[in-house]
A and B are shown apart, each in its own frame.
Chain A
Amino acid sequence: MSSAQSTRTDSAAGGRRLWRRRTEATPLSWRAFRRSWQAYALLSPIFILLIVFVYYPPILGLVRAFFRWRPGVPATFVGLDNFVTYFTYAETPHELVNIVKLLVFGLFAGIVMPFIMAELIFFVRSAALKELYRLLVIIPMLVPGIVTVLLWQKLYDPYLGPINDMLRAMGLEHLALNWLGEHRIAIYAIMFVGFPWVWGVGTLIYLGGLGQISDSVYEAAALDGCTGVGRVLRIDIPLVLGQVRLLAILAIINAITAFQNILVLTDGGPGFSTMVPGLTMFHSAFRAQKFGYSSAIGLLLFIIAMSGTLIINRGIRPANEELRQ
């Protein structure tokens, strides 16, 4: 073990000679490393797994985005070709428009709806009912994600689905559409999945933030006559900005990178009307075997998601910590 440890320290100091000089100058650091061999030994399985299976793939993707890359064929460097191909592809503007639509909607559904639900529960006086509601919001999440999507596919079924059955029963035959099969409607039908979007995770995250607000803040507000909706706007929202930021980041990453629901519901159709870059990435890898091109799209999505995250991180600044418990 100690020999493995010494090689590690070697490379950390950048070569054997440098390492020797350093140990002479600061004998403590070398001794500190040696004394801590146990910590490094305990961490080594974690780091071996991380390096091979977590650090390596994204770095490989970053590099191979500039290659023509297929399984079983040596990769060849093609410069920016993959990116040029994607940006000159006729459907790309359409895919980006879809992403913007999904993003705007995702921010609303992921930030606003859970906040409304959290506030409703937070205003409940009875502690027992509060606890009960906190548990009940989770129930829709006990159905596996794929089942929820497949169920919504059934709800949208033009012939056997309850949505159209209901519309027909109300005499609105002309509104009974093929929700997932019409060019103009399909993308909105995909967004509508999960209505009313009271997302348990988001609601609980907000409840955690609201619970942190100090009682003295509320007492002072009540004395000034600031209650109800006014309190929500002037006190609660500024004090849960940390949670808003977290959920905004999750919503942005999700809107830009997620394509599971689209893959299951429409697979990008009808035509190309519900295609998004993530799905193009998926298709080009697993149907067309273009792994380099696919990695390039993955890299683009990463850059977009990362910039969104940075903007949100700069743009939303949580309020003063002193007002929290």
Chain B
Amino acid sequence: MTTELQRSPTRRPLQMSQLGLHLMIAFLLLLSLVPTVIMINLSFKNGLQYRWERWTLSLPLRGSNYLSAWDVIDAYMINTVLVAVVGLAGVLILSLIGGYVFARMRFPLREPLYYAIIALLMVPWVLSFIPAYMLYNNLGLLNTRWALIIPNVAGGPIFGIFLMRAFITGIPEELYESARCDGAGAWSLIWRITFPLSLPGLATLSVLNFVAEWNSFLWPLVTISDMSKQVISVGLFRLSRTTNDLVDFGSGGPLFAGYVLASIPLVILFIVLGKFYVEGLVESGIKM
């Protein structure tokens, strides 16, 4: 009652400031979206429209740009999905197992081993980039898809174990007690109890890992020389180098259509798992 009374005199100026807030947020969001809007607009133009009506909406929309773009980048897209999904499966399994072991099992050297993993989060990639290239070279893994899958499967569980340990610690102990009374071993405790209950944590990990894989550029650029095995980031980079807008008018529109297509898997992922993505980022800011 008293709070209502205190608030009412200040209500009107507050609403004005709320309006100002919305305007400022909208302004900043719109500015951030300018390149995206330009990309989508250009993706529907043919050569002449690209030359004379670059920054306005011009009809007809050339949807066929998307077909020509897909013809060029389909292999890159499929390669990236393949590599990212296989790697992600490995990351999820290892992170679930590792998270369970560190959260639920008691054994000597548990904490030292855990910190031996987490400390790796502090090593910047710049120190390992060059020697890792030589390692994959010596193992004969260059120019194979393993060169793209292994780094993720080996390195992904570092953050994955950190995330899943925190998540699995939150599962009530009684569930494990009763399963143990029924004679369940470690394996079935992981798959029958931990796995179904930690799906939200695994979803967060999946989004973060997939986005990182989809964006990876420098490592595939140096390790994969065969373009038929190449991933989308490098594929688009090479395409942008080989098409010249001034000479080759037809390439402008399809190139931008390719950029849009490359964003679609991330959009789908966001629509399906966006909530976990946002929550994962918000949470990681609190825990660090």
Asked if A1 lies at the interface with its beta carbon under 8 angstroms from chain B, I say: no
- Contacting pair B158 A54 (CB below 8 A): yes
- Contacting pair B263 A138 (CB below 8 A): no
Q: B25, B36, B122, B259: which has the most chain A beta carbons within 10 Å?
A: B25
Q: Which of B170-209 contact A (CB under 8 A)?
A: 186
Q: Which of B1-37 contact A (CB under 8 A)?
A: 14, 17-18, 21-22, 24-25, 28-29, 31-33, 35-36
Contact of B130 among A29, A141, A298 (CB under 8 A): A298
Q: With the chains together, A264 CA to B221 CA distance in Å?
A: 12
Q: Which of B115-161 contact A (CB under 8 A)?
A: 117, 120, 122-135, 137, 150-151, 153-155, 157-158, 161
Asked if A246 lies at the interface with its beta carbon under 8 angstroms from chain B, I say: yes
Q: Nearest residue in B to A205 (C-beta to C-beta)?
A: B285
Name the distance in Å between B24's Cβ and chain A's nearest Cβ: 6
Asked if A38 lies at the interface with its beta carbon under 8 angstroms from chain B, I say: yes
Contact of B54 among A53, A129, A160 (CB under 8 A): A160
Contact of B281 among A53, A129, A201, A305 (CB under 8 A): A201
- Contacting pair A32 B108 (CB below 8 A): yes
Asked if A162 lies at the interface with its beta carbon under 8 angstroms from chain B, I say: yes
Contact of A206 among B33, B125, B285 (CB under 8 A): B285
Asked if B169 lies at the interface with its beta carbon under 8 angstroms from chain A, I say: no
Name the distance in Å between B282's Cβ and chain A's nearest Cβ: 4
- Contacting pair A50 B101 (CB below 8 A): no
Which residues of B are found within 8 Å of A39, using beta-carbon distances?
Answer: 101, 105, 107, 110
Asked if A307 lies at the interface with its beta carbon under 8 angstroms from chain B, I say: no
Contact of A291 among B24, B123, B130, B161 (CB under 8 A): B130
Which residues of A are found within 8 Å of B151, using beta-carbon distances?
Answer: 53
Known: A39-B105, A50-B154, A61-B130. A144 touches B232 (CB 8 A): yes
Flag the segment in A17-25, A87-95, A115-123, A175-183 that touches B. A115-123
- Contacting pair B127 A144 (CB below 8 A): no
Known: A61-B127, A135-B278. A142 touches B266 (CB 8 A): yes
Asked if A97 lies at the interface with its beta carbon under 8 angstroms from chain B, I say: no
Q: Which of A37-58 contact B (CB under 8 A)?
A: 38-40, 42-43, 45-47, 49-50, 52-58
Known: A196-B28, A204-B278. A153 touches B240 (CB 8 A): yes
Which residues of A are found within 8 Å of B59, using beta-carbon distances?
Answer: none
Contact of B21 among A56, A120, A141, A302 (CB under 8 A): A120
**Could you name 21 residue pairs across A and B whose Cβ atoms are closer than 8 Å?**
A29-B108, A32-B108, A42-B105, A54-B120, A58-B123, A60-B131, A124-B18, A124-B22, A129-B22, A141-B266, A147-B259, A150-B237, A151-B35, A151-B36, A196-B32, A198-B28, A257-B124, A278-B126, A285-B133, A298-B126, A298-B127
Q: Which residues of A contact B (CB under 8 A)?
A: 12, 29, 32-33, 35-36, 38-40, 42-43, 45-47, 49-50, 52-58, 60-62, 64, 69, 71, 117, 120-121, 123-125, 129, 133-148, 150-155, 157, 159-160, 162, 165, 195-196, 198, 200-201, 204-209, 211-212, 228, 242-243, 246, 253, 256-257, 260, 263-264, 278, 281-282, 285-286, 291, 294-295, 298-299, 301-302, 305-306, 309
Given contacts A125-B14, A155-B38, A208-B283, 19 further A-B contacts (CB under 8 A): A33-B108, A36-B106, A42-B97, A42-B98, A49-B157, A50-B154, A57-B132, A58-B131, A60-B134, A120-B28, A123-B17, A129-B22, A142-B266, A142-B270, A143-B263, A148-B35, A151-B36, A151-B39, A207-B285
